[in-house]
């Protein structure tokens, strides 16, 4: 079963999709104009850069469209949006975290308890179960933790 997006997140994604589609039309029109102009190497470089921009916009359109459609169910390499986990670190401390797909969904004051599904910790939780040991990279180095509990949305 596909995950339901919160209404606010859905509205943000729909607005982003509208903006992306407008940007794509603009880039495609500019590229078509560049193709008809005879230019120098600088113009060729601009055309290549525009092509790269167009590819990036197309990829983001695909991602946003997938998120709006509910995304792939329990996508490989990603923990589902809304997953809650309690972790016990090597120093004995425990922390509960909640994984979100969209960073804008992180509630004010909850930044320390929320991770994105594609963050190093979010990816480390993918495919894991209670009792598993995970490790992930942080700016301070590699961190290890044991998964005390893991609750998927809808469970």
Same domain, 89 and 33: no
Same domain, 30 and 58: yes
Asked if residue 2 belongs to a domain, the reply is no
Q: Is the Cβ–Cβ distance between 125 and 85 less than 8 Å?
A: yes
Torsion angle, alpha carbons of 49, 51, 55, 61, to 10: 100
Q: Which of 19, 40, 69 is the last residue of a domain?
A: 69
Please, what is the Cα angle at 10 between 8 and 14, to 5 degrees? 120
Same domain, 65 and 87: no
Backbone torsions φ then ψ of 106, nearest 5 degrees:
-70, 120
Same domain, 20 and 51: yes
Same domain, 97 and 50: no
Instruction: Give the chain's count of helices (H) and strands (E).
Output: 3, 5
Same domain, 106 and 142: yes
Torsion angle, alpha carbons of 64, 117, 6, 21, to 10: -10
Asked if residue 89 belongs to a domain, the reply is yes
Helices (H), the chain: 7-36, 41-68, 120-125
CA-nearest of 102, 95, 137 to 116 is 102
Taking the chain (155 residues) in runs of 10, the rounded mean pLDDT of each run is: 63 86 87 64 58 79 73 60 91 92 70 82 90 92 94 74
pLDDT per position as a tens digit, 61-92: 877 777 776 654 445 567 887 889 999 999 99
- At 116, which CATH number? 3.10.50.30
Asked if residue 130 belongs to a domain, the reply is yes
Could you tell me whether strands 141-151 and 84-89 are parallel, antiparallel, or unpaired per DSSP bridges?
Answer: antiparallel
Asked if residue 38 belongs to a domain, the reply is yes
CA-nearest of 98, 102, 104, 86 to 145 is 86
Q: How far apart are the first and last CA of the chain?
A: 12
Same domain, 62 and 93: no
Same domain, 15 and 56: yes
Same domain, 95 and 124: yes
Same domain, 90 and 128: yes
Q: What is the pLDDT of residue 150?
A: 92
Q: What is the pLDDT of residue 134?
A: 95
Same domain, 44 and 98: no
Q: What is the pLDDT of residue 105?
A: 65
- Total number of domains constituting the chain: 2
Domain that holds residue 91: 83-151
Q: What is the pLDDT of residue 2?
A: 46
């Amino acid at each position: 079963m596909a995950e339901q997006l919160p209404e606010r997140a859905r509205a943000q994604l729909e607005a982003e999709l509208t903006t992306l589609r407008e940007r794509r039309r603009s880039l495609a029109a500019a590229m078509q104009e560049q193709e008809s102009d005879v230019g120098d190497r600088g113009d060729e470089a601009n055309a290549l850069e525009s092509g790269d921009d167009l590819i990036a916009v197309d990829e983001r359109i695909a991602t946003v469209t997938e998120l709006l459609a509910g995304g792939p169910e329990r996508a490989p390499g990603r923990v589902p949006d809304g997953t809650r986990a309690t972790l016990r670190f090597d120093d004995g401390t425990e922390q509960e975290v909640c994984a979100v797909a969209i960073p804008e969904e992180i509630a004010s004051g909850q930044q320390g308890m929320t991770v994105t599904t594609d963050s190093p910790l979010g990816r480390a939780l993918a495919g894991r179960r209670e009792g598993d040991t995970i490790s992930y990279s942080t700016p301070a180095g590699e961190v290890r933790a044991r998964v005390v509990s893991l609750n998927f949305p809808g469970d």
